[in-house]
Amino acid sequence: MVLPNDANRLGNLLGGRLMHMMDIAAAIAASRHTNRVCVTASVDELHFHHPIRIGEVVILQASVNRAFHTSLEVGVRVTKEDLLTGKRTHTNSAYLTFVAIDEEGRPVPVPLIVPQTNEERRRYRDAARRRRQRLLHRGKR
């Protein structure tokens, strides 16, 4: 629930606070998949479609879309809920890349994803496309 200390002067959840929550949710999903400590390597674009107001509940859903060698992409969907009306509104989505590390902080291989449903297969394909774009942007092939 968004409380006054989470909000700006307009009564909206601070963007940085939401980014923090999204990073934690994604890290939990990554660590559950790998059984390792996972660190954030990158965050794709994050757009704020609707403000989240004081008193509203923030719902975060994180899922591992695809695992590569030592990295994995996690998608996070943010929804706000008005507890008085039950109305839910999608407010944000982002894709975060994590790297699994060992006790010395070195990257380690991660378990692969085997998509089962049509939705999982779509997310799996889309993750590969986004990864190619990230690598091109970084100057790698």
> Among 96, 102, 108, 94, which residue's Cα sits nearest to residue 41?
96
pLDDT tens track for 4-49 = 999 999 999 999 999 999 999 999 999 999 999 999 999 998 889 9
**What distance lies between CA 64 and its chain's CA centroid?**
9
Q: Which residue has the tokens 């390597």?
A: 41
pLDDT tens track for 43-65 = 998 889 999 999 999 999 999 99
Checking 5-12 for CB contacts under 8 A at 24+ apart, the result is 6/54, 7/53, 7/54, 10/51, 11/53, 11/54, 12/51, 12/52, 12/53, 12/54
> Mean pLDDT score of the chain, rounded to an integer?
95
pLDDT for the residue 140: 64
Q: Which amino acid, one-letter code, is at 135?
A: L
pLDDT tens track for 92-132 = 999 999 999 999 999 999 999 999 999 999 999 999 999 99
The whole-angstrom separation of Cα 37 and Cα 50 is 32
pLDDT for the residue 138: 77
pLDDT for the residue 102: 97
Which overall architecture, per CATH, does domain 4-138 show? Answer: Roll (3.10)
